[in-house]
Structure 1
Amino acid sequence: MTGERDPHEFEATRIGLSGATLNVIDVGTGPAVLLLHGFPDRATMWRYQIRALVDAGHRVIAPDLRGFGDSDRPADPGAYSLAALTTDVTDLLDHCGVDHVSIAAHDWGAPIGWGLAATAPDRVRHLAALSVGHPEAFMSAGLEQKQLSWYMLWFQFQAAEEQLPLDDWAMFRRWIHGGIPRGQDPDVDRQLADLERPGALVAGLNWYRANMPPVVFAQDSFGVDLPPVTCPVLAIHGEHDPALGERQIIESKKYVTGPWRYVKLPGVGHFLPVTARERVNELLTEFFA
């Protein structure tokens, strides 16, 4: 892509926390914004938003979450419970001396963001949830969402570890990237290079194994009574997301008592911070201002 910024232009530091050591980008000054990625990404997925938010006068903190990027990859699937992942984030904020933060979260980062906004309302100023709605809205979104989430069941088994890399990750590239070949998109190439490192694919799958085992997948609720989210929420969804339907994000409004805004982005799929970067930058800088 012409004009593509170097995805490694932001220096990162490894920070030892109580449960794991995370690789963290921490740049800029001003009100803090925390960027949380998902599977199978790393903090540099947010590179366009990092630059836009720093230019808008924010301090931006973007970690490689546990199991991804250059952060620790524990072998135990239980190390990837949402409780442990959320503790990583709160420990990171404490380490950085941040009492109040605005959050933008995508994919698996979104459940962490929703949980923090619900349980630590004194710390979260704004929540922007990209692609993934409130956990209870996701669970209760009906059979269509269960069908779209078929891969969560497949990821429970070793067969996924063996079959995903076959034929240069052909099934993965067809399913989530429209079949784009390696060498044509730097973000697809980055994801594949990350997944090919020792232990990285299993670490990514362990997020699903720890939090969405078959018994949970079949339910209509996580059974966790989260308080309502009282901060302003911006929910953003891509029209052609192959894994997440619109219902699960629209119905998240039921769990929000603060100001709510929903934006549907036409013509784009799942990886909104990259594929709809200009619109996402515009929405986030306006929202966090």
Structure 2
Amino acid sequence: MIISYDVSGSGPAVVLLHSSVCDRRMWDAQWQPLVDAGYRVVRCDFRGFGDSPLADGPYSDAGDVLALLDHLGIESAAFIGASYGGRIALTAAALHPETVTALALLCPGMPGHRPSESLQAWGAREDALLEAGDVAAAVELNVETWLGPEAGEQARESVRLWQRHAFEVQAEATVGSDREEVDLARITAPTLVVGAAYDVPDFREIAAGLPARVPDARHVELPWAGHLPNLERPAEITELLLSFLRERRS
């Protein structure tokens, strides 16, 4: 199965990978500026998100993304990933370093990361709300946790919509994505890791620690941002991403 996607533009390929509280629409503000800047832009929904149905057997999100690129005839691309999408980007870059030409990671997850006790407690709280049938409260828990103080009401409404849809679809899930073991030292792509001062500690620590694990990585932390900075200050993050991509083309 080819996961749901959009593709537009011409030039070097850029792949946008979404957070697990969003879907591919989280990149709406970045989509057209990237196309206008001369890139062939691809964004997709992981299985169980947006327009991609659940899987009926074992699968890999990184494998799905790489299969999509093959379907589109794209041999190499820059990957931009947010949160869970960042983890998938890292996985793809470690497994197939020849395919990933650059990595821009916004508050990324990391393959093999063991959640802290506080994050595990947060997950248990979310599970309890869902088991009790209080989807609205579980949605609000995510909105309040993952959006920073600068997020406007439009961003909050969008995350509510996307997260509720994911909860509803994934309530029927019987299988999950395989979690590949990868060696991040195999990544050859120049990497920008963006952390956020208002993010939860696990993700701040991952962002700060990735330059010690990925050979050509640098870290910046945004003093104003929460976990989803491209929804909080869209124009600023768009320019940050374009600047990074321009460096790779020069």
Q: Could you tell me the TM-score, scaled by structure 2's length?
A: 0.83
Cα deviation per residue 1:175-211 (whole Å; 9 max; x = unaligned)?
A: 334799xxx72332233334444x7446289699767
What letter corresponds to residue 187 of structure 1 in structure 2? A
**Residue 152 of structure 1 pairs with residue 123 of structure 2:** yes
The match for 1:111 is 87
1:38 match: secondary structure: coil
In structure 1, the residue matched to 2:132 is 162
Using the alignment, how far apart are the partners of 1:208 and 1:164 within structure 2? Answer: 23
- Shift in CA distance, 195/248, structure 1 to aligned 2, threshold 3 Å: closer
1:186 matched to 2:134? The reply is no
User: How far apart are the structure 1 equivalents of 2:23 and 2:12?
Assistant: 23
Are the structure 2 counterparts of residues 26 and 210 from structure 1 closer, same or farther at C-alpha, using a change threshold of 3 Å?
Answer: closer
Matches within 5 A, 1:237-256: 237-242=195-200, 244-256=202-214
Q: Distance in 1 between matches of 2:5 and 2:60?
A: 17
**C-alpha distance after superposition, 1:111-168 (max 9, x if no partner):** 11001111101110001111025334x43xxx8x44245333445x465343552459
- Residue in structure 2 matching 1:46, options 21, 24, 27: 27
Q: How many residues are treated as equivalent by the alignment?
A: 245
Secondary structure of residue in 1 paired with 2:194: strand
Residue 228 of structure 1: aligned partner = 186
Give the CA RMSD over aligned residues.
3.2
- Describe the SS at the equivalent of 2:10: coil
| Deviation beyond 6 Å, 4+ runs, structure 1 | 204-209
Q: Does 1:34 align with 2:10?
A: no
TM-score (norm 1): 0.73
Gaps of 5+ in 2: none
For residues 169 and 227 of structure 2, what CA distance do their matches in structure 1 show? 22
Deviations 1:207-266 (A, max 9, x none): 997679xxxxxxxxx9654543221000001110136442221111122122x2211111
Contact 1:133 1:252 in 2 (8 A): no
Q: Structure 1 stretches of 5 or more lacking a match?
A: 1-15, 213-221
Aligned to 1:4: none
- Quote the Cα distance in structure 1 between the aligned partners of 2:174 and 2:183: 21
Partner SS, residue 61 of structure 1: strand
User: Within 5 A, what are the aligned runs for 1:39-188?
Assistant: 39-74=20-55, 79=58, 84-136=60-112, 138-139=113-114, 145-154=116-125, 157=127, 159-162=129-132, 164-166=134-136, 169-177=139-147, 185-188=153-156
Q: 1:278 to 1:35 in 2, by over 3 A?
A: same
Query: Measured at CA, do residues 187 and 164 of structure 1 come closer, stay the same or move farther in structure 2, by a change above 3 Å?
Result: farther
Residue 273 (structure 1) aligned with residue 245 (structure 2): no
